[in-house]
Amino acid sequence: MELNLEREHINCYDMVLDTEVCQEETLEAIVPDACPDIARIVDTGGQICLSGKHVRDGGLSVSGTVKVWVFYQPEGGQELCRVEVKLPFTIQAEAAQLHSQGQCVVTPCLRSVDARSLNPRKILVRADIGLGIQAYQPRELVLCCGISCDEDVGVQQRTAQHMAYLTQAVQEKEFTFYDEVRLSAGPGGRAQVLSVRADPWCMESKVIGSKLIFKGEVALQVRYLVGGELCGMRCAMPFSQIMELDGAGEAADCEMAMCVTDVDWTMAGEDGRTLNVTLELLGQAVVRDRYPVTVLQDTYSTVRQMTIQQESCVLNQLLDCGVRPQSVRELLETETPAKTVVDAAVSVSQLKQSRQDAQQVLTAELRMNVLYLDEQDALRSVSRILNVSGRLELPANGACRCSCRCPGEVFAVPAAGGVEVRFNPEFYCLVTRQQTVPAVTGAKLGQPHGERQGEQPSVVLRMAAPGEDLWDIAKSCSTTQERIRQANQLEEDELPVGQMLLIPSAR
């Protein structure tokens, strides 16, 4: 006699890699002939532009370019000059469980960038690149949720309901959009743009039918010259996109990682103060949803011997998903007193996690950079690394996926001893927990109970052993839980302590 195991097949993704890979790139560059000699380097900045991701069996590679701009004071006291240097990079990551049909999500970070002059016509540029990499492998989750068979076999089933939190889609979309930015700060006259840095962020996402709608903004930081005076401004460029999506419900959660693949700009307008910006972005979506599952945990027959196979099944559960804002107010000490702040920016260099008792400590390493004029109107810059921490409750078998950004304005004003900087970083946290449950993977009927054990008594008296429940007793005696409840007038499944139970046979 055969048993028919009813199985549920669920398509999902397993995260097989979650890491940060860092790599340093250096390059010597010659100052173009059209530019004057270097007297003093004032400041250095950069933008990572991702160009490609390649998933292979056992690992992946990510390539791109760091566009570095160097501001310097030329010899002879002329106005500020700019040199741009491009540093190509390729970063490898290994993951034994990753195969060519897998997907990866990459979050680039320019941890630091600097330059020094080797001579008046040559500079050495260094960029420290960090890539947050998550790799996902598709798989089919197969769960046995029950058994169908003839009633006279007396098969008893122990099932459990769970709410699994599954990754159901990993997809991406490249898109381009344009916008105009009006450069209003500074004195009158035409503007000469020196640098444009883009920081995209998704602020809202929602699944509607078979489409994922995501909205966000690009924080644009522009530095430019007007009449020989350096100016800086920050503005937001909003975007909204639709991505075709497979296999997710409208209640799903979506984690979006945004990358810049290219930035370009041109000047327009009769007064030379309108900036036309073209942005090429990559939106990477990881869609997770709560999925109710029924798991057959144990089974037996009251009539026949039964051999079963069991395995441990690991299911993720969602514990928390939200934003934890912080507030920062710091003094950046300067070598010379600051008279005027020209521009200020904050970027996230890296994010670390550590454990303290029942809490997870999130520590973001932030790089603050300020351009300012000293009392002699000389342009100078100051940078500083600051660690900002947040905490959240996390069980021992829990896991936290976290990111950090600094939305909104960065306020910087001259103060005694330096420049006071204020901004509000935010931690975005996804907290899950792994639950291990027993799951039946196979079952086979054998001979009737009486053929091996001889005649069985119609009634057995026994006491529950420590840790034993009603299911365990019924299974060991080849009877049903309902018969035991009726024979002992039990209203619940809880067993009386220290009391003999009347165990009737199922026959």
Smallest CA-to-CA distance from 380 within 38, 120, 43 is with 43
CA gap 56, 364 in Å, rounded = 31
Greater model confidence, 448 or 124:
124
Rounded to 5°, angle at Cα 81 from 80 and 85: 145
Please give the helix or strand (H or E) that residue 486 lies within, else none: helix 481-488
Q: Find where tokens 């078998």 sit.
A: 397
Supply the pLDDT for residue 23: 96
Smallest CA-to-CA distance from 224 within 260, 198, 268, 190 is with 190
Give the pLDDT band of residue 467 (cuts 50, 70, 90).
confident
Supply the pLDDT for residue 466: 85
Q: How distant, in Å, are the alpha carbons of 200, 251, 252 from that of 289?
A: 25, 7, 4
Supply the pLDDT for residue 462: 84
Give the three-class secondary structure for 154: coil
Supply the pLDDT for residue 361: 94
* DSSP code, position 37: P
CA gap 196, 219 in Å, rounded = 10
Express each pLDDT in 229-244 by its tens digit. Answer: 888 888 999 999 999 9
CA gap 164, 319 in Å, rounded = 11
Q: What is the mean pLDDT of the chain?
A: 91
Give residue 63's Cα distance to chain centre.
Answer: 20
CA gap 274, 118 in Å, rounded = 36
Supply the pLDDT for residue 2: 74
Greater model confidence, 261 or 1:
261
Terminal CA-CA length for the chain = 19
Supply the pLDDT for residue 147: 93
Q: In the chain, what is the greatest distance between 2 CA atoms, to the nearest angstrom?
A: 110
Domain boundaries, the chain: 10-137+167-288+319-435, 456-507
Residues 177-197 have a mean pLDDT of: 86
Express each pLDDT in 68-77 by its tens digit. Answer: 999 999 988 7
CB contact at 8 A, 295 and 435 = no
Whether the per-residue pLDDT at 426 is higher than 90: the answer is: yes
Express each pLDDT in 241-281 by its tens digit. Answer: 999 987 778 889 999 999 999 999 999 888 888 999 999 99
Smallest CA-to-CA distance from 393 within 327, 324, 325 is with 324
CB contact at 8 A, 68 and 128 = no
Q: Which homologous superfamily is 456-507 in?
A: LysM domain (3.10.350.10)
Greater model confidence, 185 or 290:
290
- Which DSSP string corresponds to 348-366? EEEEEEEEETTEEEEEEEE
CA gap 219, 58 in Å, rounded = 36
* DSSP code, position 335: S
CA gap 135, 59 in Å, rounded = 9
Whether the per-residue pLDDT at 452 is higher than 60: the answer is: no
Whether the per-residue pLDDT at 106 is higher than 70: the answer is: yes
Q: Find where tokens 């459990």 sit.
A: 160
Give the three-class secondary structure for 245: coil
Express each pLDDT in 393-421 by its tens digit. Answer: 998 888 998 989 888 889 999 999 999 99
CB contact at 8 A, 96 and 2 = no
Give the pLDDT band of residue 453 (cuts 50, 70, 90).
low
Name the token pair of 387. 């660690």
**Phi and psi angles of residue 153, each rounded to the nearest 5 degrees, phi first:** -80, -20
Supply the pLDDT for residue 454: 53
Give the pLDDT band of residue 228 (cuts 50, 70, 90).
confident
Whether the per-residue pLDDT at 334 is higher than 80: the answer is: yes
Count of positions (residues) in the chain: 507
